[in-house]
Chain A
Amino acid sequence: MEKFTKITSIATPFPRANVDTDIIIPAKFLKSIRRTGFAAGAFESVRYNADGSLIEDNVFDGARYKGAHILVAGDNFGCGSSREHAPWAIGEMGYRCIIAPSFADIFAGNCIKNGILTVALPQADVDALVIAAEAGHAITVDLEAQTVSCENALYKFDFNPTHKDMLMEGLDEIGQTLRSKTAISDFEAKQKMMTPWLYRQG
């Protein structure tokens, strides 16, 4: 996984509230058994006309925000289904960071596991960043310092320290957890005594 420390980039403004994972990637595109190939179907209802042609000047494909690595989004972003295809698609589109007033829990967790930073800022700050993004200003997100800066504005954000380490180191979480193998085995031995019906015989 690519490490996340600090990025500076123009940003795509997409401030709609309650953007669900069905909007991010509709279910009909989930049939691949690989982790890639989801970018083309991402945000289908925002990017394509009913006949399958691209909607001209939509924020994701228009020239204006080409090459943006930051998405400035609306409240409760990523609600709905647990599909990890949503962050896979967003990552494949080139985004490394999403800034929004709030994120749905499962979606935010899925982002971390795919090296995408989710930054929650107050609505007023996000509104200001939307305006800056629309004006084509670059935004800098510094995970180490936990700051977002743009023009002369600087915003601090909170972030879970464990997740910060994971993102900054680009760590494989399973490998990390397996270092606690003994603790897991000890737990199982204890649980098997206390609630044996949870273990199938044989």
Chain B
Amino acid sequence: MPKIMPKTMYDKIWDFHLVEERGEDVGLVYIDRHLVHEVTSPQAFDGLRAAGRDIRRLDSIIAVPDHNVPTKDRDQENPDEMSVAQLEALEANSREYSLDYIPMNDARQGIVHVIGPEQGFTQPGVTMVCGDSHTSTHGAFGALAFGIGTSEVEHVLATQTLLLKKAKNMRVTVTGELPLGCSAKDVALAIIGVVGTAGGTGHVIEYAGPVIEALSMEGRMTLCNMSIEAGARAGLVAPDDKTFNYMKGRPYSPKAGQWEAALAHWKSLRSDDGAAFDKEIVLNGSDIVPQVTWGTSPEDVVPVTGHVPAPETFAEPSKQEGAAKALEYMGLSAGQAITDIAVDRVFVGSCTNSRIEDMREAAAVIKGRRKADTVIEALIVPGSGLVKLQAEEEGLDKIFIDAGFEWREPGCSMCLAMNADKALPGEHVASTSNRNFVGRQGPGARTHLVSPAMAAAAAIAGHFVDVRDF
């Protein structure tokens, strides 16, 4: 009898969804789930209309505004005409094509990558896309989820498929036990620090090991969210009992009559013993320390106990030049202690860190304390209306407001500063988002990526501090 080759989780999901092979390692792949937002979809709908094409499967789509929405004064007129045009276009397209649309004033509205899981729309084993690179978030459920461009959004709307090149398999194993004071964000940043921003290019990363298994579903979302920051289009975590418990009773979850069959399928997804990975990285999770980025790429990261590195300490000339440019942009000098960096603004939110556990993590640090006077503004932006309601039920909003923080409406907000939430040139931001790129949070803004607990502590102290001694 022929021996069956052990398969990785990625290989299994790929094989399950292969409609047609198109030569070596290229396939027409079926897409089960599609999240649509206002920024990367208007041109796709225009394309459909121009070609007289229809949407193939309405039940595969949820549309929701998130990138551009204001996070305060929603009852007043939005002064940003261009934002309004995009928000109106999404609403009009949703109406024209009868999409499952969640409007801005609905309690379920929020960041696509927060509401997908929350609604049970994200499920193990599905293929899932969105015109947003942080779609990798949904890999936390063992879903093959990745970001696409607008032409691909149009392609999925019209055909329910994508022509894809098969990625290579990479496994990142995190051993040991995550120390107190560290969270999934620190794991993600520590991994990127090792792998680099291009280390996962052409690969799908499967995260494994005791530290990953011990993470909550929300922690796994934070981790998978940043896979793209390691260059990987998608991240995956094997579904387990935590996943199955999370899935129970959500609006789009399999119903009673189908639950058992779904569960059996989900249990079959994990990588087989002995499956081959093209690239393997192992990290000792017990050594992880709260992380802070100092430069303009997520790989420019050090422990909070560390110092800003000197450009000449990098091996390659292109990295040396990049580091020198980054230090100039960030207004930092080599050798400076991370804890000496003063913070002007704080942002807790984004598809990386805006779920209820992130809110609780920030609140635990903030409770009974006050924001430093030198911190101009500290925003707490929940990832969805439901996260907001839950936080308010737990009294977290009072903790934030009493401490001098602003409690806002859900949206992408200052992660990419498309709406009014931005930092001014030269300001240092302690941010729980995912990208510290030049100008990402406003022209000239200086972003430092951290966990919610570290952002909260920086807001209180007015500079970075090690949350473990806080």
Interface residues of A (CB under 8 A from B): 15-18, 20, 22-23, 26-28, 30-35, 44-45, 50, 74-76, 79-85, 87, 102, 104-106, 109-110, 113-114, 160-162, 172-174, 177-178, 180, 183-184, 187-188, 191, 194-200
**B20 & A183 in contact (Cβ 8 Å cutoff):** yes
**B161 & A82 in contact (Cβ 8 Å cutoff):** no
**B201 & A160 in contact (Cβ 8 Å cutoff):** no
Interface string of B90-101 (1 = CB under 8 A from A): 000000000000
**A109 & B68 in contact (Cβ 8 Å cutoff):** no
Given A20-B438, A26-B439, A30-B39, 4 more contacts at CB 8 Å?
A20-B435, A82-B147, A84-B40, A84-B131
In the complex, which of the residues A79, A161, A198 contacts B197, with contact meaning CB atoms closer than 8 Å?
Answer: A79
**B85 & A28 in contact (Cβ 8 Å cutoff):** no
B282 contacts the other chain (CB 8 A) = no
Report the nearest A residue to B129, measured CB to CB.
A82
Report the nearest A residue to B202, measured CB to CB.
A105
**A113 & B438 in contact (Cβ 8 Å cutoff):** no
Contacts of A28 in B (CB 8 A): 417-418
**B159 & A106 in contact (Cβ 8 Å cutoff):** no
A/B interface sample: 20 pairs, CB < 8 A: A20-B297, A23-B438, A31-B68, A33-B85, A34-B46, A50-B444, A79-B231, A80-B133, A82-B40, A82-B133, A105-B231, A106-B149, A162-B23, A173-B151, A173-B155, A174-B154, A184-B19, A184-B28, A184-B159, A197-B258
Inter-chain CA distance A20–B300, complex, in Å, is 14
Contacts of B206 in A (CB 8 A): none
**A80 & B19 in contact (Cβ 8 Å cutoff):** no
- Taking the closest CB of chain A, its distance from the CB of B44, in whole angstroms, is 9
**A109 & B258 in contact (Cβ 8 Å cutoff):** no
Report the nearest B residue to A197, measured CB to CB.
B254
B30 contacts the other chain (CB 8 A) = yes
- Taking the closest CB of chain A, its distance from the CB of B343, in whole angstroms, is 21
Contacts of B151 in A (CB 8 A): 84, 110, 113-114, 173
- Taking the closest CB of chain B, its distance from the CB of A48, in whole angstroms, is 9
- Taking the closest CB of chain A, its distance from the CB of B59, in whole angstroms, is 4
Contacts of A177 in B (CB 8 A): 28, 155, 158-159, 161, 163
Contacts of A113 in B (CB 8 A): 149, 151-152
**A184 & B318 in contact (Cβ 8 Å cutoff):** no
Q: Given A45-B439, A50-B425, A106–B26 Cβ distance below 8 Å?
A: no
Q: Given A33-B89, A82-B148, A16–B440 Cβ distance below 8 Å?
A: no
Contacts of A160 in B (CB 8 A): 26, 165
Contacts of B188 in A (CB 8 A): none
User: Looking at B201, B252, B258, which has the most chain A CB atoms within 10 Å of its CB?
Assistant: B201
**A31 & B83 in contact (Cβ 8 Å cutoff):** yes
Contacts of A191 in B (CB 8 A): 30
- Taking the closest CB of chain B, its distance from the CB of A25, in whole angstroms, is 11
Contacts of A22 in B (CB 8 A): 416, 435, 437-440
**A23 & B20 in contact (Cβ 8 Å cutoff):** no
In the complex, which of the residues B149, B198, B435 contacts A109, with contact meaning CB atoms closer than 8 Å?
Answer: B149
B242 contacts the other chain (CB 8 A) = no
**A198 & B32 in contact (Cβ 8 Å cutoff):** yes
Interface string of B313-329 (1 = CB under 8 A from A): 00000110110010000
Contacts of B331 in A (CB 8 A): none
User: Looking at A82, A187, A200, which has the most chain B CB atoms within 10 Å of its CB?
Assistant: A82
Contacts of B147 in A (CB 8 A): 81-82, 106
B102 contacts the other chain (CB 8 A) = no
User: Looking at B39, B51, B149, which has the most chain A CB atoms within 10 Å of its CB?
Assistant: B149
- Taking the closest CB of chain B, its distance from the CB of A128, in whole angstroms, is 15
**B158 & A75 in contact (Cβ 8 Å cutoff):** no
Report the nearest B residue to A186, measured CB to CB.
B19
**B418 & A31 in contact (Cβ 8 Å cutoff):** yes
Inter-chain CA distance A160–B166, complex, in Å, is 12
- Taking the closest CB of chain B, its distance from the CB of A29, in whole angstroms, is 9
Report the nearest B residue to A22, measured CB to CB.
B437
B22 contacts the other chain (CB 8 A) = yes
Inter-chain CA distance A131–B262, complex, in Å, is 58
Inter-chain CA distance A18–B444, complex, in Å, is 18
Contacts of B39 in A (CB 8 A): 30-31, 83
